Chains A and B, each alone.
Chain A
């Protein structure tokens, strides 16, 4: 079953603006990851945040995790047209079988030049 629920389902912004996507989940987790998918191709791993971490940065990406609210956000700063893609959160559930990830429904981000 799908655990993560991304919000919004679709987001359209202008180049240079920031984009924020949210993800909620239901069970306790070991970690939460964000992936990007360009136009129905394979997924690219962006960033992982562990359950004992609250914030993590990687380049123009900033991820936060609030385990009390069971939610995470992905912020892309100074967006570029090349950031246009679908973004998925995925959780590694605490107590679940090793390595199994559960993916959310995704946010389709469109960055207009």
Chain B
């Protein structure tokens, strides 16, 4: 397993601003992922954070809106840029070592006013 922490746990932000969410893992992992969970909905994969190269974004998500960094094998950040109320969601990072189980962080609850 892996122990994953996220910062901040929650935040309330004004529209037009940006928020950077941090994800820290207690051990080196190959793959890190960022998901969005809109209110009452399931999880949608935003992107795969690749160490040493640009993130791989899913359809409907772009780097300008959700820039991602992955400076090493234990840390990643997701920035939600130029926020609008539609960005109010829970943002979760997850990690995977094999083509099986992913382990999830506790999530960041974001409310945009």
Contacts and interface: CB of A to CB of B under 8 A. Distances in A.
A33 B101 CA distance: 8
Interface of A: 2, 30-31, 33, 35, 40-45, 48, 88, 92, 97-106
B88 interface: no
Contacts of A88: 42-43
A48 B43 contact: no
A2 to B, nearest CB: 6
A43 B100 contact: no
A4 B103 CA distance: 19
**Chain A interface main SS type:** strand
- Among B43, B45, B104, the most chain A Cβ lie within 10 Å of the Cβ of B43
**Chain B interface main SS type:** strand
- Among A41, A88, A104, A105, the most chain B Cβ lie within 10 Å of the Cβ of A41
Interface in B18-34: 30-31, 33
12 contacts: A2-B42, A41-B106, A41-B107, A43-B92, A45-B104, A88-B42, A97-B56, A98-B31, A98-B99, A99-B102, A100-B33, A105-B42
B53 interface: no
